[in-house]
Amino acid sequence: MTTGTRSESEVEEFRVRTDLVVVGASAGGVEALRTLVGALPEDLPAAVVVVLHMPAGGSSALPAILSRSGPLPALAVQDGAELRSGHIHVARPDYHVVVQDGVLRLSRGPTENGHRPAVNVLFRSAALAKGPSVIGVVLSGALDDGTSGMAAIKSRGGVTVVQEPGDALYPGMPESVLQHVEVDHTLPVARIGPLLADIAGESAIQVTIAPVPEALRMEVAVSRDDAGAEFGEIPAIGSPTTYTCPDCAGSLLEIPGNGVQYRCLVGHGWTADALMEAYGGTLERAMWTALRTLDQKASLTHRMANVSRDAGRDLVADRYSRQEEEALAAANVLRKHLLRGGVREETGT
């Protein structure tokens, strides 16, 4: 309940129940999720919403896997579905999940870190819609999706829980949250379920939080596809950079907050780590394209040299042969670099 009137510098006061658990995971997340939901009680007085990074195509078996892993039924999110205590709502492939007006909405809004669904989208919308009623949980995953969302939950008075990095198959996401957010609980995943059972449904909690930042409102609006942020509004939440979006090649804005965040003018969102990884992928694709082009040039110049020699044009043939040698030399250097990079990536050296 908000008490009295307030200015921008004043705070809101609430008495709430912690009745919404939002969980984000990526690589190694299925195993962690199975452990977590296996320890939840069948009478959990909160709804659970799960986002796991997954490919855009096809369907997800995660609801069936989680239903078999514990006493709570798990179901794929339907657009407009009510949040149901004692149920696990699982994001669908290629759709963001947004908490809005007390229900779950599916959105084809812009990707974040190349993902749809994305953890940050769910977490930010939950923080905006439910404030201190939210418990945020980040499990195993690479890179740093979930960090800005957990910062939003923390800023709105919610409870923040992170899997102990040493307990995670992929510690990147938990480590990133711990670096940027003062979390409430850091535990092995086997202990997170019992913790949620203890704190979910707590009532009569007096929480004091600051007014909602305009940047949070805007980023949640960007992720929705029923209304969203209109063109021209996004620049208001960031400052221009010289970087470009890997998804659309548009200019990126730097968004202030916990950790470095970027968003392009049509809404694609990136963290610094994810942006560097995307640039790395773009660079590698360009290098393979260059290698293919050099191989084709070498093959073509070899043929043209033979044709010229057969026609008695030795000077022209020599010129083609030199071009072939140059192309082959460049291709060999590039091929060795690419293959060495692949070995390092696979072996972790």
Catalytic residues: 26, 53, 145
d(CA 229, CA 237): 11
Q: CA–CA separation, 126 vs 240, rounded Å?
A: 28
- For 114, list phi and psi in degrees, rounded to 5: 80, 5
From CA 82, how far away is CA 69, in angstroms rounded? 23
Distance from C-alpha of 233 to C-alpha of 212, rounded to nearest angstrom: 17
Sheet holding 96-100, edge to edge: 81-82, 103-107, 96-100
Say if residues 152 and 124 touch (Cβ distance below 8 Å): yes
Q: Phi first, then psi: what are they for 136, rounded to 5°?
A: -100, 135
Kindly report the three-state secondary structure assignment for every residue of 204-261: CEEEEECCCCHHHHHHHHHHCCCCCCCCCCHHHHCEEEEEECCCCCCEEEEECCCCCE
